[in-house]
Amino acid sequence: MEKETLVSDLEKAIQTNNISSLESLAKTAVEQFPQEAFGYAYLATLFSSKEQLDYKKAQTCIAKACELAPSESSYLVKFANLKEEQFLYEEARILYLKALNIDENNFEALKNMGLYELRVSGMFDKAKDYLLKAHAIEKEDKLVNLHLAELYYEQKNLEDALISINLALGNAFDEPTTVLLIKILFALGNKKDGLKVYDSLVAKRPDNISYRFDFAQKLYNSRVYGEAATQLKKAMDMSTDSVPASFVDLYVKALTMNGKEAEAIATLNTVIENEPDNYVYYNLRANAYLFSNNIADAIKDLKEIIRLLDDNNLDFDYREKLGFLLLKNQEVDASKAVFEAMISNTTQAKVGLYGLGIVAFSQDDFALAYHFLKKAKLKGNSDAEKFIYKKLNNYLSDIKNKAIAANASHIESNAASSMLQKINGKLWSFSSLDSQVLNTQPENVYNSIVNSFQSTSFVLTEKGTLMVKSVHAEGTVFHIIEENDQDLKLACSAVDGSRKYEMKLHLSLDNELIMTEKAGENIHFKATKLNEIPFAVSKAYNRTMIPQEMEFLGANAEAISSAFFKAS
């Protein structure tokens, strides 16, 4: 048989998918032309067909073709395609590059190298170079335009992505092109056309649940709640096993936003009957009740969730939600009990303290509210910090001003006190600790530092005493009980009512001020004149104390700072 006739018949066999004819003709080609590559290439096509798939034989044949025709780039591309089918992308890449070394305009090699750089290596600039070269050769090629659209989409070049995807579209339905078109349209903010195209995709693939669910999500996000609910109901009906909670969640939300709260709750009632131990559905129903302003039934569902979970760490969010709903429902004692129970759990304490602060605030007990919120803030609750700033700022300013006024009056009445005159007008701050105590009872020392720092880091001026706590400047009123040239005994009380205590101050011969609040727990202070403190440090000190701002505390500042912040 003539070679031209044989090649023509082989091509016809491939086009008509006549596998038996392809096998017979390819074997004939190898027998008649054993030193020519084309017969081995057709055998490779045979063994890579789904009817006779055998990658090992296919690769052996195409490797022989490459050996017989080393300057034929198309055989290398075919070899690379076989590697890709087996997910051997690096081996395929080497073969594509070999093909391009032979023929730099090999369209298939350019296209596939572009796709490799786009999807495998993520080298978008290289991918663009290859794909644009391929596009210059075949401007109408739909795959090249699809890959260019994908590339532009990844690079956020949405206008060019839209141009390329439109070139990739054909008269026949193509799923990958349609999916990418939808992504591009929504990224451009064109929801109207995006939903229209998605509708056509779902119509073409009605069996695809994930498409239908994603379509419903986009409808919901576009506020087309009725159609979203319709699509979700179809998706739920298609589910052969139990319906995913995410489907039920979105379906209930869509119904609710469409004004069908009763239907949403009825749906959840049915789901809960079928799965009475699934706490997720109780939470969905609680949310639906809240949307209908039915706080009482929402509270019941939250209590059921906590009963089902029976785990303080898992039901954390639900306890918090329950506590605030009880408060909203005027069940103050029940709300307080929920938050008090949370305090004993290390991970929940900052929320429990915050909740108790809000409960106290709702009862106009600002001192107690601040007491709890301050503790929550110290544990890292940012909501407590914001609440203090927004709601209790006036309260804090008021108690600070009261402290200053009370102390100013007291100092004035004790103007002749020699001890007061010696310590007045200075910032007294930590300078050292008893090393023996520090080494033998570190926990006690930490606690001592915390207590002392929060209540006895002070400045005495002619305007009064401003007591500085670790997080917020607070007022403390003191009264002298006993005094002499070197000693003072003071009765102290925080203006917010949080603490009352006594302390002794002793001025040593080397001008250290030694504070004693509890027996055996002495803290030493050194004086820094106020006019010697840099403004930035002084300002920081009066705002809050952080380790970087404690340089002026003395030689042991780092150890003290470390101990203090560990304790707090």
Residue 449, domain extent: 417-567
> Which of 259, 230, 173 lies closest to 215, judged by CA?
230
- What pLDDT, on a 0 to 100 scale, did the predictor assign at position 292? 85
**Nearest CA among 68, 71, 65 for reference residue 79:** 65
Torsion angles phi and psi, residue 123, rounded to 5: -90, 90
Residues whose CB is less than 8 angstroms from the CB of residue 509 and which lie 6 or more positions away in sequence, other chains included: none
Q: What is the pLDDT of residue 464?
A: 32
Name the one residue in this structure whose structure tokens are 């044989």: 6
- What is d(CA 27, CA 151) in angstroms, rounded to the nearest whole number? 42
Residue 107 DSSP symbol: H
CB 197 within 8 A of CB 171: no
Which residue bears the tokens 């998706």?
Answer: 235
Q: 503 lies in a domain?
A: yes
pLDDT greater than 50 at residue 566? no
Residue 366 covered by a domain:
no
- Among 518, 526, 519, CA closest to 430: 526
Q: What is the pLDDT of residue 522?
A: 74
Q: Is 492 helix (H, G, I), strand (E, B) or coil?
A: strand
The three-state secondary structure class of 467 is: strand
Q: Which CATH number fits the domain that encloses residue 433?
A: 2.40.128
pLDDT for the residue numbered 509: 85
Q: Are the C-beta atoms of 109 and 80 separated by less than 8 Å? A: yes
> Band of the pLDDT at 171, cuts 50, 70, 90?
confident
Query: Does residue 385 belong to any structural domain of this protein?
Result: no
Q: Which of 295, 344, 304 is nearest to 324 (CA)?
A: 295
Q: How far apart are CA 319 and CA 325, in angstroms?
A: 10
Q: Is residue 3 part of a domain?
A: no
What pLDDT is stored for residue 483 in this prediction?
80
Full-model pTM: 0.58
In a domain, 90, yes or no: no
Q: Which residues, including other chains, have CB under 8 Å from residue 68's CB and lie 6 or more apart?
A: 35, 36, 37, 40
Q: Does 520 reside within a domain?
A: yes
Q: Using an 8 Å Cβ cutoff, are 433 and 560 in contact?
A: yes
Q: Is the pLDDT of residue 471 over 90?
A: no
The H or E element spanning position 206 is none
Q: Which residues contact 206 (CB under 8 A, 6 or more apart)?
A: 212
Does residue 458 lie in a domain region? yes
List C-alpha distances in Å: 65 to 17, 37, 58.
22, 4, 11
Comparing 96-105, 370-379, 464-473, the range with the smallest average pLDDT is 464-473
pLDDT score for 476: 63
Least confident of 228-242, 259-273, 323-337, 436-450: 436-450
Residue 447's pLDDT is what?
42
Helix, strand or coil for residue 69? Answer: coil
Question: What is the per-residue pLDDT for 546?
Answer: 42
DSSP track, 407-460: HHHHHHHTTT-HHHHHHTTEEEEEEEE-HHHHHH-HHHHHHHHHHHHHHH-EEE
In whole numbers, what is the pLDDT of the chain averaged over residues? 81
Confidence label for 531 from pLDDT (cuts 50, 70 and 90): low
383 CB-side CA count, 13 A: 10
| Residue 129, pLDDT score | 96
The answer to whether residue 164 sits within a structural domain is no
Q: CA 218 to CA 224: how far, in whole Å?
A: 9
Q: Tokens for 216?
A: 């419903």
- 181 Rama class: left (phi>0) / alpha (psi -120 to 50) / beta: alpha
Burial class (CB in 10 A: 0-12, 13-18, 19+), 272: middle
Burial of 344 (0-12, 13-18, 19+ CB in 10 A): exposed
> How big is the chain, counted in residues?
568
Nearest 5 degrees, angle CA 96-CA 97-CA 103? 90
Q: What strand order describes the sheet that includes 521-529?
A: 473-474, 464-468, 458-461, 426-433, 521-529, 513-518, 500-507, 487-494, 476-483
* pLDDT for res 66: 95
Torsion of CA 129, 131, 135, 136, to 10 degrees: 20
Query: Helices 158-168 and 142-154 sit at what angle, rounded to 10 degrees?
Result: 160
Residue pLDDT, tens place only, 397-417: 776 566 556 555 655 665 556
The conformation of residue 347, written as its DSSP 8-state character, comes to T
pLDDT of res. 7: 87
Query: Which residues does residue 244 pair with via DSSP β-bridges, in sequence order?
Result: none
Token pair in block for residue 495: 């203006």
Domain count, the chain: 1
> Where is average pLDDT lowest: 218-232, 237-251, 458-472, 526-540?
458-472
pLDDT above 70: residue 473: no
Tell me, what amino acid is at 57?
K
